[in-house]
Structure 1
């Protein structure tokens, strides 16, 4: 690993550790994700200035779709799944599919918008960085839960 990469990671880790002292969990995760993606994509300053507003708008809309709309569906599934009629279940399934389709269209718009800002190669790296970040976050969550149990 190059020295500059090591320094970038160290700076990101310092920034992230400082952010843990402030803000809520969502903000902490967002800060970690921003640092991780910035490092993984090696964005230039010009790219970053255009990339982050597009990506942050996407993240906000995606959060709204997943958490606000799906939250109501999950409540219904938790409370009346056993007593739900076939028609109600069919309607709920259609609503859930619509949210998934909206999410898919949102992702397609993100890619189209980013093509004018960063290369296709970096867009693919973004997808990998998102997956790696989520995998690492889940791994840390599991490790923290197992540590607290012991």
Structure 2
């Protein structure tokens, strides 16, 4: 399985770790968002005009993506714990799979619309740089998370 396929799953799982913490999920999300904004700003080298148009579109997309992943995936993970999976019927399993596929489709359509909107703001090269920068940021975040987990 490619890193591009594994990374969203790992980020999703790390986000569930945040839910289990006593700290405020919103606070942690804001901390990560601030780091991400700084990272992307540096990597993309946006002009002032580009930045003014880019950030509202990006933030809307990022918030929508976060909500889809965390609201629906939290439900899915609850349904897929070991005890529940041992007792789930074939009909319930198919229903859950269909819901998960619908969520994947929803995320895909959201990303597609986002890229379409970006094409009106940024040149294609910067959109590709954004994609690469997001992956690099996620990778760094995952490494930091792993490093902290190993230290504790």
Query: What is aligned with 2:126?
Result: 122
Displaced runs of 4 or more, over 4 A: none
Q: Is 2:42 the partner of 1:36?
A: no
Q: Is 2:114 the partner of 1:100?
A: no
Q: Is 2:93 the partner of 1:73?
A: no
Aligned partners of 1:141 and 1:69: how far apart in 2? 23
Q: Is 2:51 the partner of 1:48?
A: yes
Q: Give the TM-score taking structure 2 as reference length.
A: 0.81
Aligned partners of 1:65 and 1:122: how far apart in 2? 26
Structure 2 gaps of 5+ residues are: 1-25
Aligned partners of 1:60 and 1:25: how far apart in 2? 14
Q: CA deviation at 1:144?
A: 1.1
Aligned partners of 1:80 and 1:140: how far apart in 2? 32
Aligned partners of 1:108 and 1:63: how far apart in 2? 16
Aligned partners of 1:35 and 1:146: how far apart in 2? 26
Q: Could you report, residue by residue, the CA deviation over 1:34-74 in whole angstroms, capped at 9, with x for unpaired residues?
A: 00001100001110000000000001110111000111111
Q: CA deviation at 1:25?
A: 1.0
* Secondary structure at the counterpart of residue 46 of structure 2: coil
Aligned partners of 2:92 and 2:151: how far apart in 1? 42
Structure 1 gaps of 5+ residues are: 1-22
* Secondary structure at the counterpart of residue 107 of structure 1: helix
Q: Give the TM-score taking structure 1 as reference length.
A: 0.82
Aligned partners of 1:89 and 1:82: how far apart in 2? 11
